[in-house]
Structure 1
């Protein structure tokens, strides 16, 4: 289970993926529906001009990718940097404590968010937010020359409510 990863000294991607799949198997259709409702409710506060694009991107990043994880049959032989994943889990555990205190994300969405953030970062080696994800000001995550570029990474990397601290995206130099 994810809570046990802090005791691992060695972990490969296949082992991590099996842990994430086991966690994902605990998410049922009601959790997914509640997470979708949360995203729709949360989108009320997003500027109307890109609300639809925002919803589409967040559904793709978290809800749709859940099925991608469950169906992933790839054999990954690479080792996971245990120190990096333990740091990621510390951040996610702090966020989870906030969620449990009624702050931040909806609990059902957070379960998915946590699993998918780890899957995209440590298994797929992709940015948590896929290319095209919009941010205020009509900025978007990009993928150029093998690098994920985020327009808000620098401003959000120390935000305790964001996963930017461990996301592999780099700050888009255009927005420094």
Structure 2
């Protein structure tokens, strides 16, 4: 990776970590996500496809739309809100500043550490594409205040991410602790009971 790419990741991580309101964070995430080209987005989509294709059926067909919604659905909502100026009126603080600081601290090393050791490659094979993943999941969790994986995302065993009132429950929330740079470790969802 070029020194310019490394510095971009480091600068972006610092900018994200300095945010205190949802609107400020949304603006930073929107600016950074807006730097990705159509070619970048196509390569990121290819990374998702490479991650999903080896999964066994019928799970592969069930999970594919949720992974695409997690990445590209969030990206489109982020860019729409950014371009429409919606973030200017969001002056409420980030809901859980400690969890947010933990998230911001993951970004640099999660992108730059050797992917086989960090668990953050996501099939993208490019640290800037891993950064994109952190941008859109940061939007999901700290601007939209939702879970990192969309409600309904299926996991092996027949369990799905659920919403109950204003709270989210995930079957794998506490099962990713051995992957130090996983967004699951900072997700607002609770571990689903009995899983």
The normalised TM-score by structure 1 is 0.87
Aligned length: 172
Q: Which residue pairs with 2:111 in the alignment?
A: 96
- CA RMSD of the aligned region, Å? 2.0
SS at structure 2 position matched to 1:27 = coil
Q: CA deviation at 1:32?
A: 1.1
Q: Deviations over 1:52-100 (max 9, x none)?
A: 22110010011121010011125322112544322112222221023xx
Asked if structure 2 preserves the Cα contact closer than 8 Å seen for 1:127 and 1:148, the reply is: yes
Runs of 4+ residues deviating >4 angstroms: none
CA distance in 1, matches of 2:134, 2:153: 18
**Distance change >3 Å, CA 25–CA 7, structure 1 → 2:** closer
- Matched with 1:79 is 93
> Partner residue of 1:62?
71
CA distance in 1, matches of 2:101, 2:46: 30
Give TM-score scaled by structure 2 length: 0.79
Of 20, 26, 41, 1:32 maps to 41
Residue 112 of structure 1 deviates from its aligned partner by: 2.3
The question of whether the paired residues in 2 share the 8 Å contact of 1:12 and 1:78 is answered with yes
User: Unpaired segments of 5 or more residues in structure 2?
Assistant: 1-10
Unpaired segments ≥5 residues, structure 1:
none
Query: Comparing 158-167 with 23-32, which one deviates more in the overlay?
Result: 158-167
- Determine helix, strand or coil for the equivalent of 2:184: coil
SS of the residue corresponding to residue 156 of structure 1 reads coil
| Equivalent position to 1:115, from 129, 135, 141 | 135
Taking the aligned partners of 1:102 and 1:79, their CA distance within structure 2 comes to 33
CA distance in 2, matches of 1:120, 1:131: 11
- Measured in 2, the distance between the counterparts of 1:16 and 1:147 equals 22
